[in-house]
Structure formats: C-alpha cells, structure tokens
Amino acid sequence: MNTDLKALELLFQRPLEPVFTTRDQGKTVFDLPESFYTDRYRNNSEEVANRFSQNVQTRIPLRELTSVPNLDFAAKLGRKHQFSLFNSLHREIASQLVKLYLDAPNLQQFVSLAAYTKDRLNPVLFQYSYAVAVAHRPDTREVPIPNISQVFPSNFIEPSAFQDARQEASVVEKNGNRAPITIPDNYTASDREDEQRLAYFREDIGVNSHHWHWHLVYPASGPATVVNKDRRGELFYYMHHQILARYNVERFCNNLKRVLPLNNLREEIIEGYFPKILSSVNNRTYPARISNQLLRDVDRPDGSIEISDVERWRDRVLAAIDQGFVEDTKGTRIPLDEKRGIDILGNLVEAAPSLSVNMQYYGNLHNQGHNIISFAHDPDARHLEDFGVMGDVTTAMRDPIFYRWHGFIDNVFNKHKALLPVYTNDELSFNGINVTYVEAKIGAGPARPNTLLTYWQRSTANLAAGLDFGPVEDDTIGANFRHLQNAPWTYTFNVTNSGARRTATCRIFICPKTDERNQPLRLEEQRLMAIEMDKFTAELMPGENTVRRESTQSSVAIPFERSFRAVGVNYQPTAADELARFRFCGCGWPQHLLLPKGKPEGMLFDLFVMFSDYANEAVAQPTNTPNDACSTAYSFCGLKDKLYPDARTMGFPFDRRLPNDNLTDFVGAFSNMAKTDLTIRFNDKLVG
C-alpha cells in the first residue's frame, strides 16, 4: 500500500489525540510541516515531534497545503460538543467539510488536508466527514473505513468495562496477553422494566454500527455526488421499515405487544431510558430520559424547534399523501405514483435538504422529531446538558423511543403505500413456474426440517482503534459481549418450469403468524411485519429444478467479522481481491440477528418464497464493472457506486395491499409462490 493510503488509514486511529502522536502501535509517525501544529503546540513543535519519534520505524512525510482552508464555518461546533446528524447546523457544517475534502485536487493534498484539519475540528465531526470523503473519493477506494464502534468505543460500551480496558492497557505490557474486557449482559435496566426484554436487540453493537454505516453511505446533506444516490429516499423508508418489522416481531417473541407509534407529541412518553454510555468527546454520560416525560419546545443556542412546527409538517405530509401529490416550490404538482412516490416521500420526510421537493413547506419532520425527543430532559439548555441517545445515529437505536418515533414515520409511508392500487395478478404471477417444495434446515445432518435455532453467544471484537488514552501502543484490546446467535441453515426450493429456461428473482420472507397474545394475524398485518431474509437470482431450467441457498449468503446481512472487523495494517490482506473485500464493508444487518429470537417452546412463522420474472426486474447498470466485493447486503445498502439492483419497489410484494385476506389464499392463488410453517426455537443458554 502506498504511504498516502496508509496515512489515510492511520488518521482513523486515536481520534482524540493530536495528529503528531504515534500511530500503528507506536511504529509510525507523521512528519508534519510546521504550519500544521495548532497554536497550542506550535511553539514547541520540535520538542513534540522529537518526543514522538523515539522507536518509530516509519515516518510518513506530509506535504504543505497548496491552499490553507478557512475553517470558520465549523467554529460553531466546539471540540467538546456532541455532534448530531439530525441537527441542521451540524449537518450543514459536515456538508461543507465533506465538500472541502472531496475538492482536494489529489491524494497527497487530501492527506495533508485531513491531517491539517483533524486537530482543528470537533473529533466526531472530523471522523464522520472524513469517512464520508474516503468512501466517496475515487482515489481512496482501497482505504478501509473502520467500524464506528472501534473509533468511538465509549458510545457502545458500558463505562465500567471501559475503565477495565484502561487498566488492562496500562498494566499489561504491549504484546502481552491482555484479557478481553467483559461487557455485562444487562446493564441499562432491571427486569422491572418490560422494555428491557428487548435490550439485546436495541443495544447490540452490530445493530447500532449498521445504522451508523447506513447513514454514512446515505447522508442527507453534502455534495450532490454524495447525497443524490439512486432511490435513496425509498431506501430510507425501506431500511427503517425493515428495522421496525424486525423489532415488532422480536417483541412478539418476548411477549410484548407491537410498538405504539408516537403519533401524539403532546402525550407523556411512558418509556424512560438511561443509556449509561459516555460521550466520546467530553466524557460525560449521555443524558437519560425519565419515565412519563413530556416533550417540550426546544429553544437552545444551536437551534429552536416548536412542537407545533413538527405537527404542521406532519399534517401537510399526510394531506399530500391523501391527495396523491406533493407540490414543489413553484407550486407544480408532482404525483406520488407507484414507482417514484415513495422515493419522493422518503427524501421529503427524512428530510434531505437538497432532495426534498419543498423543504420550506413540508419541513424537516423526521430529523426534528429526533431532536425534540433527544432534548426532552433539558429543552432550553438551562442545565447545560447535551442531547440524549436519540440525537445521534450512532446511539439512537438503543432507546425504545427510537422505534416509536420511527413507527410513526413508517406509518406515514405505509399510508401512501396503502393508497396505491392492489397488486394485480399480472404483477404477481410468473407463468409456467410452479414452486412445489419449501424447506429451511439446519446444517447437513439429520436436523428436523423447518425448525431453526437461536441461542446466546459471547464473542470478542477488537475495539482498540479508538482507545486513545494512556500508554497504549497496541491494538489488541478486545471487548467481550453477549449477543443473540442463530445456527446456520440451508433453504431448499423445488421449482418446476414448464417453459423455456428463465431467470428468476427468488424473494424469501418470514412473516409472524400470531401476535403476543397468540391471536392470528391478518394478511394486512402480516405483510407490514414481513421480514426480508434474502433475495437473489436463480436460473430455472426447463423441467424440475432444485434451488439451494445458505442463510449466510443473505442479501440483508453481513457476517460477524465484517460487523466487527479488526482494523489496522496487521489485519489488512495484501492480495487485490482480498483487499477489495476489506474495503468499506460495514453496512448490513448483523448476521447474528438475521433470525428473530423465537421462543423456548418454539414460535411459528410463515416461511414465504416467491419466484418472479427477472426480465421485468433487471436493472441496466451504467457501467459493467463487477460489483464491489462489499456489496453483498444490497437489499438494505444498495450496491456501491451502482444503481439499486431490483427494479421492483422495495419490499415487493408485501409493500402494497394484496388481493387476498390471508396468506394461505394468497399463496394458493399463485403457483410461483409457496410457504411452509417455520418454527424458531430459542435455547436460553450461552453456547460457544
């Protein structure tokens, strides 16, 4: 790897330490031009440089900047302030910064610019904007972007465990055998709090880093090349819709009823949440929200929001949905039709300023909801408290209120979808294709078909990239934590093709059959909680076909190693294809949560499969470069630098109303579909 690319990689390490400190386990240091030192160190830059040069093996010289940027635009966000992508001011600052990085004329200047700006900006703002730039510059494709949990581990780890890490790091010599630190299983609440039953899902490190990664791949603000991606508004709807479907099903598994969408911002919020994690920038705990908190207007130095604003935007968006069109700034009506309607709505509801058809009128609904909720504990800043976890994409999914707010947002989208025509037979069928058998079975042995297993597992992930304290010059501090796991399985489908060879898209979903009280669900309820498990193309030869697919190949999930990739040069493969795989790979649902937990006594689901005609669904890509090796979780994350690979609307066929009342009739009416009962059994033991 050339030294510029290596320099970029090293700039992700030790986010809170000055740029002149050593990186790469003390082996590497940057040779900085005098002008790069901030005022604090400028007078003794030589001494500082010497101090960090001992035992160094590699020095990476950085060039002078051809033009020194004016960073005044970022001055409003102090170095010790929390940074939030939901805050319009912060987002605007990040957007300018991303533009600055993308505009750097060449790789050397980009490296210098990043190194120069790093210590002059809020560290989270820097890491975010820098990661967006690295992900989008054509000359930085080989640079792996570390997982956010590795850059800012304190946002993910219970602080007492964090303290253990400091101790372990200072006591045990580097390269000695440091014990992994253990994150306790249930640390945010006791079982008096019903919502605690879902803590394993909400506080999962993989879930939260997926969410952060998704918003990194699909930022709402910034240069058009970064923001204006194919179907990003629709994907905003769909990725969050699937999170809600999964969360609701997960609630059934734990005998809790569906999420109550937060339709009324004037009602007390029943759910309290005490996050017990530390802010990375100022070492304070994220503020808590007590139970039965009332939301109030926010009036703070960096922005005001009135609840009535949010209500007005909500009513306008809902009215537009009822009317079937939105109006742009010139008053032109844009229909919310079957294909583009959801994409327009996604960008308008989120809202992405440059993509919303009329931000002035439809406002900033989703983001400002996050903000009002995140300041519930101190809406006018009289206690000088920062935002709670809802204010940050890194941490929002930990809080039960996330799902109530996004439940409301999802309902808005679902209202639009429910007004579209029912799918017709033509749209749903695939003539000549008959699915005769469906099975999901664990492993190759004699396991019982259609019974899948979940259990607890403890794993260790390396979170050392962000441990920038004390004398650590090592990168081997592991965090050991418990998470749900599933036993891998194989799908088998038998398909008869009575015509010529066809290419099909195979779509696999699981739908809950009953609610938390064991009452059967109607198809209209089931379809809104249908969990996408996989989607892939299959060749169907004339006659009998057997289609097999492994659960680990899923188009929604990424493997554990990718959710928790170790970073740093030691881990980096050298072969080109391996290196490609190592790139920006963190977006994707964690494989260990691919399957809902189920119940100890077994919980019944419908396993649904549909083969549809790929000829109607194929997307012609503008270039025929092969897919990026990381583009495997394309259902949720799209393909890197390409168009979304399925021309159907996301969630097809469950995104719209269906012609039947129950799933059995629906599947019975179409030979290209089939279903079977699937049992998910949860073994309440720690395995492996």
SS3 459: strand
Please report whether residue 49 would count as binding ligand CUO according to CB under 6 A: no
Residue nearest to ligand CUO (CB): 396
Please state, in angstroms and rounded to a whole number, the distance separating the CA atoms of residues 117 and 122.
10
Please report whether residue 370 would count as binding ligand CUO according to CB under 6 A: yes
User: Smallest distance, Å, CB 346 to ligand CUO?
Assistant: 10
User: Smallest distance, Å, CB 98 to ligand CUO?
Assistant: 18
User: Smallest distance, Å, CB 629 to ligand CUO?
Assistant: 25
Please state, in angstroms and rounded to a whole number, the distance separating the CA atoms of residues 115 and 508.
46
SS3 343: helix
Please report whether residue 349 would count as binding ligand CUO according to CB under 6 A: no
Nearer to ligand CUO, 26 or 219 (CB): 219
The DSSP line for 216-264 is HHS-SSS-HHHH--TTHHHHHHHHHHHHHHHHHHHHHHTT-PPP-----
Nearer to ligand CUO, 373 or 452 (CB): 373
Please report whether residue 258 would count as binding ligand CUO according to CB under 6 A: no
Q: Which residues of 452-474 are buried (b: 16+ CB within 10 A; e: fewer)?
A: bbbbbbbbebbbbbbbbeeebeb
Judged by CB under 6 A, the chain residues 236 through 255 that form the site for ligand CUO are 240
User: Smallest distance, Å, CB 114 to ligand CUO?
Assistant: 26
Please report whether residue 373 would count as binding ligand CUO according to CB under 6 A: no
The answer to whether residues 130 and 11 touch, using CB atoms and an 8 Å cutoff, is yes
Please report whether residue 232 would count as binding ligand CUO according to CB under 6 A: no
User: Smallest distance, Å, CB 396 to ligand CUO?
Assistant: 5
Judged by CB under 6 A, the chain residues 83 through 112 that form the site for ligand CUO are none
Q: Which residues contact 290 (CB under 8 A, 6 or more apart)?
A: 272, 377
Q: CB neighbours (10 Å) of residue 448?
A: 10
Please report whether residue 213 would count as binding ligand CUO according to CB under 6 A: no
Q: Which residue, chain included where needed, has tokens 């101190």?
A: 378
User: Smallest distance, Å, CB 379 to ligand CUO?
Assistant: 19
Structure tokens at 408: 């409301």
Nearer to ligand CUO, 240 or 416 (CB): 240
Q: Tell me the number of residues near ligand CUO by CB under 6 A.
A: 8
Please state, in angstroms and rounded to a whole number, the distance separating the CA atoms of residues 271 and 399.
9
Please report whether residue 396 would count as binding ligand CUO according to CB under 6 A: yes
DSSP for residue 617: T
Nearer to ligand CUO, 211 or 535 (CB): 211
Please report whether residue 352 would count as binding ligand CUO according to CB under 6 A: no
User: Smallest distance, Å, CB 414 to ligand CUO?
Assistant: 16
Nearer to ligand CUO, 14 or 241 (CB): 241
What sign has the CA pseudo-torsion 451, 452, 453, 454? Answer: negative
Q: Which residue, chain included where needed, has tokens 């470069």?
A: 625
Please state, in angstroms and rounded to a whole number, the distance separating the CA atoms of residues 115 and 109.
10
Please state, in angstroms and rounded to a whole number, the distance separating the CA atoms of residues 454 and 315.
42
Please report whether residue 393 would count as binding ligand CUO according to CB under 6 A: yes
Nearer to ligand CUO, 126 or 408 (CB): 408
Q: Which residues of 43-66 are buried (b: 16+ CB within 10 A; e: fewer)?
A: eebeebbeebeeeeeeebebeebe
Q: Report the largest interatomic distance among the alpha carbons of the chain, rounded to a whole angstrom.
A: 81
Please report whether residue 355 would count as binding ligand CUO according to CB under 6 A: no
Nearer to ligand CUO, 456 or 589 (CB): 589
Catalytic residues: 350
Binding residue (CB under 6 A) for ligand CUO from 14, 90, 211, 404: 211
Binding site for ligand CUO (CB under 6 A): 211, 215, 240, 366, 370, 393, 396, 406
